[in-house]
Amino acid sequence: MYAFDIERPTRLADAVKLLSDSVESQPLGGGQTLIPTLKQRLAMPDRLVSLGAIDEIKGICTGDDGALCIGGTTTHADVAAGAGAYPALAGLAGNIGDPAVRNRGTIGGSLANNDPSACYPAGVLGSGATVVTNTREIAADDFFDGLFATVLEEGEIITEVKFPVPEKAAYMKFEQPASRFALVGVFVAKYGDGVRVAVTGASEEGVFRWSEAEAALSADFSAGAIDGLSVSGDGMISDLHGSGDYRAHLVGVMTKRAVAAA
């Protein structure tokens, strides 16, 4: 790693201030992606601003509208244990990485990184959640902006994510066994006004909604409703773990499994 300073503010306002001054700074969530990135010298900030000691953006609660609100620095382990009001989301968090990674990694860090094979982007997009930052609220449909990219501005911090709780939902991940990331993961959620289907691990553009499946499932919420539907292998990630066509096939399979499990 290149040398850098590290700050550990205990108040959100102090973190925002540090991230907006003249020193080139990078926010640090749980570090489960950022620290390996720094080790590979793929990033060279002058300063890291650790968000881990800011209690005001940590924890889980239920909003007045019934939404499940998860603080930006809440770990995967805490979501797995504490998001019982939304079992599909708790299950997703409880199957990220391994136990030690789940004790450090955070929801805000995962979303800000927007890895094309990460689980949380599927949960957030599939739930039509709202990402709250220190300056604004961003709808999930507007938040993700392609491979490893989001609409977050420099220095903007995810303080909370608000999930409307669906009638039924499930997340099915076909795991890449070495990395434990999703080779393909599909999050399906049924709300009163329709069904949302979000796919991670498959597209070169990152997480996306499968609108044909959403329409079919909104009319008939059964695995059979997906029969005959398929996504194209064009634009799908193709690597030594699986071709684009293989991933495209998995999208259909994992969607059916998610519907059956919901």
Partner 1 sequence: MSQVSMTVNGKSASGEVEGRTLLVEFLRENLSLTGTHVGCDTSQCGACVVHVDGKAVKACTMFAAEAEGADVRTIEGMANDDGSLGTIQQAFQDHHGLQCGFCTPGMVMSAAALLSENPNPSEAEIRDYLEGNICRCTGYHNIIKAIMAAAGQDVSGIAAE
Binding interface with partner 1 (CB under 8 A)? 1-6, 8, 28, 31-32, 35-36, 38-39, 47-48, 50, 52, 77, 97-101, 103-104, 178, 180
Report the alpha-carbon distance of residue 239 to residue 224 in Å, rounded: 30
Beta carbon nearer to partner 1, 104 or 249 = 104
Residue 133 phi/psi, 5° resolution? -120, -175
Question: Cβ of residue 206: shortest distance to partner 1, in angstroms?
Answer: 22
Beta carbon nearer to partner 1, 95 or 127 = 95
Question: Cβ of residue 4: shortest distance to partner 1, in angstroms?
Answer: 5
Question: Cβ of residue 95: shortest distance to partner 1, in angstroms?
Answer: 9
Report the alpha-carbon distance of residue 105 to residue 99 in Å, rounded: 10
Question: Cβ of residue 10: shortest distance to partner 1, in angstroms?
Answer: 11
Report the alpha-carbon distance of residue 148 to residue 7 in Å, rounded: 25
Question: Cβ of residue 48: shortest distance to partner 1, in angstroms?
Answer: 7
Question: Cβ of residue 112: shortest distance to partner 1, in angstroms?
Answer: 17
Residue 151 phi/psi, 5° resolution? -85, 5
On the 0-12 / 13-18 / 19+ scale of CB atoms within 10 A, 83 is buried
Beta carbon nearer to partner 1, 99 or 194 = 99
Beta carbon nearer to partner 1, 38 or 158 = 38
Beta carbon nearer to partner 1, 35 or 253 = 35
Q: Which residues of 4-18 are buried (b: 16+ CB within 10 A; e: fewer)?
A: beebebeebeebbeb
Beta carbon nearer to partner 1, 38 or 122 = 38
Report the alpha-carbon distance of residue 57 to residue 80 in Å, rounded: 17
Within 13 Å of residue 216, how many CA atoms lie on the same side as its CB?
A: 19
Helix (H) or strand (E) holding 108: helix 107-113
The DSSP bridge pattern shows strands 5-7 and 47-50 to be parallel
Beta carbon nearer to partner 1, 56 or 175 = 175
Question: Cβ of residue 78: shortest distance to partner 1, in angstroms?
Answer: 10
Report the alpha-carbon distance of residue 202 to residue 249 in Å, rounded: 10
